[in-house]
Structure 1
Amino acid sequence: MLVENQTGRKIKKIRSDNGLEFCSGLFNQFCRENGISRHLTVPGTPQQNGLVERMNRTLLDKVRCMLISSGLPQNFWAEAVMTAAYLVNRSPSSAIEMKCPMEKWSNKSPDYGVLRVFGSVCYAHINQGKLEPRAQKCILLGYPSGVKGYSLLRLEGGSPRVIVSRDVVAFKEELMYKDVVGKADDRFRDSFEGDTGVQIEVEKSGESSNMPSEVTGNQENNDQVREGYSIAVNRPRRTVVLPMRYREGEDLSAVAFSVAEMEAVTEPLGYYEAINSDDKENWMKAMNEEMRSLYQNETWRLVDKPINQKLVDCKWVYKLKEGIEGVEKPRYKARLVAKGFTQREGIDYTEIFSPVVKHTSIRVILALTAVYDLELEQLDVKTAFLHGVLDEQIYMKQPLGFVDKEQPNKVCLLKKSLYGLKQSPRQWYRRFDEYMVKNGFSRSMFDNCVYIMEYSSGRFVYLLLYVDDMLIACEDKRQIQIVKGVLMREFDMKELGSAKKILGMEIQRDRNKKLLYLSQSSYIRKVLKNYSMENCKPVMTPMAQHFKLSKSDCPVTVEEIEEMQNVPYSNAVGSLMYLMVCTRPDIGYAVSLVSRFLSNPGKLHWGAVKWILRYLNGSKDLGLIFGQVNADDPLILGYVDSDFAKDLDRGRSITGYGFKVIGSMVSWKANLQHVVALSTTESEYIALTEAVKEAMWLKGFVTDLGFDQVDALVLCDSQGAVQLSKNQRFHERKKHINVKLHFIRDVIESKEVMVEQIDTLCNAADMFTKALAGSQFQNCLVKLGIG
């Protein structure tokens, strides 16, 4: 049965000798019921079953050598046989093309790093009294089946026992059993004389790097449970490892959207910690560079403190900025930040909103870059917020460590905006916007952080701004240099060359094939490591079909609520949400589903989050592909779908759509509808309305970029919704539909956006509305250009 379950192949014949264990009535009946033919050898002719007999001899030869070499008593022949079989199954064989049996069995190469000398001395980590030793001397007896750990003979801590431990902290392979248990010490030898069985104890222990990574369940003998061992009582308990953000001394408050922890160097939490750290020179250099920028920009001037004037305090913030793997080293960054939470609205600030470029806009520009082979370069504004001019009078204390020795009692009157002030982002954007418009750029009407300039007939340069990060795309490299010169005349800029990484998204180009790849593999690895899921078993889809999540799965009792409060559910969902927004539309439905229970998640909800992480572990390098153009498709092509009343709590439907521009995926959505639909047609009509609005925005934005005659097509698999969007006749069955949803009729009638029906099996938006089987899910990924 084990072979059949593990391989899917049926056992047809069994050849054995005439031993009673093979000729019993129960075994014969079992073979007859399962249609298994029996072949028995003639008594006294073991050569008729030569394959098995030769293996018996091979194992016996190994066992004899292992017992003699280690000096272990013959009572341990069973452990020696198990170890010999373990090694044979992982040794190359000429009969199977120099592959090992384990590799043929599981299609995986075995891990040889866990192998140790049989009978050698080792030390198992234990938890006992505070003043007691943390390890006990043991002898390695092998690798038990069905358990991740080593089988050990414990020599210390009372009578000798055979235990199974995961935490083996050291191996002394040059020392054997016979070397540490001499003739004078008969305490252990006498314990085994006439012993009918040594008790096995499975220890409770934590994670260890020195343990077998495989759990075998094949032809090896699985009967290792001796007297006194109970798997229910003595089974190893799983040790819960706290995520990094809950460990003492770690400042990871922004882990939900930026998992950029550095392992080798810790980031100081304050000025005094920085100047007393091992990296004092690097941090001081970073602080001096920051102060140099502040002085050059004339950020403040020292004045006497006005009477009864409230001061804004400041602090130093330190960050080890992550570089591009294998290209750029991490940078030490120190930032002087004002404590903006002490500001008062109406006195110290008024308006604070500042726009940033939409992720959809970035992806549209990347699609144009790939298809038209544009140059794409990246810039960074040094101390961007210092360029903003303040409208209010704000007084600040002098920064710690840089107090003017000649004027220690004076305060800083801020002339320019400073990081941490509430109005700083807005003042910086206003300054940048005014300068760009004055130098010939026009601001897009559909995204205020996209700037366009036509430098010759039909040729454009595009500039995208996300706070202090910029992308410049243009056909002519010389024109990019001209734009850089214009920017550097006004702002202190840092050239980063060809765009490699923006907002945590990694950009790779194959200019020969005119392809561009956008992924977040490094970010995914850090997220998985942060939640101790880097070694989890991968799955094929982001959400399994058996997950039926609702509020009924939320904890109710005080004990359940307290237990779930220790689970980092919100942070994990936040990390997944940022990934979904940037480059992974394939997890859109799954993230939408788990994000509904942020206020009170249950164990089943947390299981769904871990399922998404398992999917990401198997698809770390998956991302968006730009440049795959289908000549038959319109410039803007969208898929839309809805799943009627799938919300188990309120009966609302799900809207899902995905849009491609020039053959590349740029926009997607998967969320609950705001109203309860009364029919399938109504839910599809609501989803179609949302998709048409997105199509209109994309059409306007692409037109802004200099394209003429932009066609937009939306494909929907609901015939009723498509007909309802085109037919303006009144009908009793649709009088309840909100009037505002009917605006798409005018849009379709004016031919601004076209809507057509598509077969359900061809609708790529299916992945945004429901959990799909593996093959269906892969088909959707292919249609949307995700690979």
Structure 2
Amino acid sequence: MMRKIIGNSISHHLITDKFPKSSDFVCTACATGKLILRPSYLKIRAEPLKFLERIQGDICGPIVPRFGPFRYFMVLIDASTRWSHVCLLSTRNHVFAKLMSQIIRLKANYPEHRIQSIRMDNAAEFTSHAFDDYCMALGIQVQHSVSYVHTQNGLAESLIKRIKLIARPLLMNCKLPSSCWGHAVLHAADLVQLRPTAYHETSRMQLVRGNPPSIFHLHKFGYAVYIPISQPQHTAMGPHRKVGIYVGFKSPSIIKYLEPLTGDLFTARFADSIFDEEHFLALGGEFKYQKECQEIDWDAQGIPASDPRPTEAEFQVQKIIHLQRLANNLPDTFTNYKGVTKSFIPAQNAPEIVEVPNKTTQLPLTKKRGRSMATQRETIANKQRKTVNANQPLVGTHQIDTICQADRDSLQPSSVVHNAETRNSEDHRHIVSGHHNESIRVDEIAINYSETRESFDRRATIVDTNFSEQIAECLQVDPEPRSIKECQKRSDWNKWKDAIDAELASLYKRDVFSAVMPTPRGIFPVGYKWVFVRKRNENNEVLMDVVTAYLYESLDSDIYMKVPDGIDIPNQKSPTGFCIISVYVDDLNIIGNTQDINEARHHLKTEFEMKDLGQTKFYLGLQLEHLPSGILVHQSAYTQKILEKFNMDKSYSSKTPMVARSLDVEKDPFRPKEDGEDVLGPDFPYLSVIGALMYHANSMRPDIAFSVNLLARYSAAPTNRHWTGVKNVFRYINGTRDLGLFFKKNQDSTLIGYTNAGYLSDPHNARSQTGFVFLQGGTAISWKSSKQTLVATSTNHSEIIALYEASHECVWLHRMVNHILTSCCIGSLESPTIIYEDNAACIVQMETGYIKSNITKHIAPKLFYPHELQQHGDINILQTKSCDNLADLFTKSLPYSTFFKCVEGIDI
């Protein structure tokens, strides 16, 4: 600004050229005191978005007056074709269920188009962990705009604005009350679908479906329409049509209309309807609704919080997932129809009935001091209730007490009041007469259990015993302990300990149990169970009980029982007092401490003629070096032997066993034999080399497992390219011939696994690579690198297959290690085995179970065996970074830095 002032003034000593420019420095006062919202930088995409590649959404509301139970409406719009969807909401808690049902519908209708991302604002209903986990399992990225920056979600914001611009004139042009804004919003959304956009010359519907839409069924909103009366209801001499109010269409052949007297919503065939576009009808029959209708507030503030508890919405999400699984298993019918209960969320995208205004003039919305809006509506409802004839019962008071929708919004599980006289009948009213014979509507409150997914029909069940038992259990202030460990954690442990000692002393006194002894061979001891109960009277006072329970008489045979927890075992074997003997044909290895080894050697020499060779240094091709800090196991002698046999002992060394593979299939050096390419002759011992390297990789060198497995695939028709790869492996082991596995002393015996999959590692046969490694004490004890036998359709699919194969090895290793530990009395593996995986979608699916969707429904259920192991506590699948996954060593060729990190990680 000062630069412009100086430039337009005269007789000033400052020269404009020497005055600093605004781009040369940053003024702190100007930066904090001035704010000009500037447009975002134009994004130039290399290619346009595909259909359903990005979906944006937003919510409008709360809206006053409400449309039946609805206060909001949500919009979803495709960023490519501008296809949109509008649904009505009674509460923001139902957003997750509506989004999930729409995602399922889009995946079923357009299976060839995958939803890649969903963009929402930062509202609480869009930032739930459940929705993020569900989208992660489906491979959908959830994006959130910057807080209070509506331009980043401009498509959804502009769609809401356009719908309101269309819906407002629709209501003002007809005689419907403002509480019918929902019908106008839905009709406006349908009209927007038929309108061309600024970016396309065709309409949204034509871009999605491929053919121009038909508009012959369009008529003016709110006009009178004559609908045929169904065959059972009209007589031969009576009218065959009745009048209705046109409020939109479901399809070109089906229209929607309102019953003028009751406000009920019905559908009819377009071909059978006659439209009267000269008369508007009002709700309430002959009474003419005045033009001064109530104003609509699209974003009401200060309305009372009447949303239901969030657990209701969670139940709806669980129902949708359950019904989706049921529909995938039984696509034609529901066999267990009793398991489907009435939902709190209306099934259709409109209420079944609209409130009919009374015969008083409906004044604009005003707020009085000291009276909330809920109190005013309740007063009006009480006045209307007095005018209803007592001989005309309201629906819901016939035979069964129900709870209306208006009360259900604020319903709490512990405050259900069955009183028909104090029930608000404003939202649900049907006039029962001889000319309006319809089925009686019954609202049902069903109790759903999230763990068992059971539901109970109130019309068939009088007393819900399961629910009452759960409530009774929750009311226990001081529950009984269920195990000896829970007793030891309680404040009254001394009293429980005295009772346990008295009980055991009484049992020993009557010779019920003998002293603790080893179980004889072939005998399987029975189990045990602690039972802790305090006897109480009607005043909840603890009573005296018999010390010893009633026992059977003396038994003729002995019964062996496991020693219960909490009882000290006398003369227990020392953890260091064990001896393991491994036998291979006529060679023995004795493992243990020095004293136990000497005793075992003495007993064996008395029975057999044996030759003592001293401390084991070479066994089955493995060399053992006993160091002060641990034992090093290697095969340097075998490495030298095969290098000399194949004349590679004087070759140059290499840092990695395999060169980096090209992503281009045609440039892959390890591709199969091509036409015109010569096969290696008998002068090249390719099969012998592969056999020698495979034994070396499986025995002691996991760092060459992937390279050898890849080269072994071409044993039938090897070429010079494959022989070059073999020589590169020899160069690597020539420079690392002394490498081996080092087992340190005093290390933790915890078993840890890493698994990974190389998607399309063999692109020529469309096969992926499975790789896993298990460590104990930080050193590899089991590993595998093999080509998968199934065709994986995605990275997630290949990761599931790899995790399935790794779980087999994990179960066997866990049992073997646990057997050795327990047999030697040195402990056991109590905690589950941790398996690290770097694919987030695979981990989520193994936590939630078998999800039958379009992405995973083709995956065999047996591949979800790790889910069962995780549920039983045998394994625990955790996520790790791709750079920290040691199983990468077994799935792909790595650069030297990454390769060295993985080799060092498995303690080679």
TM-score of the aligned structures, taking structure 2 as reference length? 0.35
Question: Rg bigger for which structure?
Answer: 2
Between Structure 1 and Structure 2, the one with more strand by share is 1
TM-score of the aligned structures, taking structure 1 as reference length? 0.40
